[in-house]
Amino acid sequence: MKTNTITTDSPAEVSALGLPTLPCSPFKFVTMAELDEIAKKEEARMDDLCDYDAKLGYVSVRDDYGNDYDIELTRIPDIEALMHWIHHLTKKPWMDGDRVHELIKRVYEIKGWNIYRRDL
């Protein structure tokens, strides 16, 4: 069963929502502090999926077992080359949407490219 998260610090707000709070409820109530902690953990998890070694000039994508797939940044001179790598990596069974997202984000940051460019 999918769990939806509702944030509030007020038990009165929970009651006012009129949502089920039984153990089998699809809703889990968390405070804003708990949500902040969840977000920090998720951000750390996402950051661990892709790494950059400036000294060696590699961007690395990490699989579920902690193994790194290294790509020399010189092999990603432009967005077309990045798309080639994404196409290649998505054939790997461990490559998922989170890793694609982090790879794109990291390469754009390193290269100084504007990920939100409007002139396409």
Q: How many domains does the chain have?
A: 2
- Residues spanned by the domain of 12: 4-44
Question: Could you tell me if residue 68 is inside a domain?
Answer: yes
Q: Which residue has the tokens 């000039």?
A: 57
Question: Could you tell me if residue 89 is inside a domain?
Answer: yes
Question: Could you tell me if residue 58 is inside a domain?
Answer: yes
Question: Could you tell me if residue 119 is inside a domain?
Answer: no
Pairing mode, strands 58-62 and 4-7: unpaired
pTM exceeds 0.85: no
Do 71 and 36 fall within a single domain? no
pLDDT tens by residue, 5-22: 666 556 566 666 665 555
pLDDT tens by residue, 35-45: 899 999 999 99
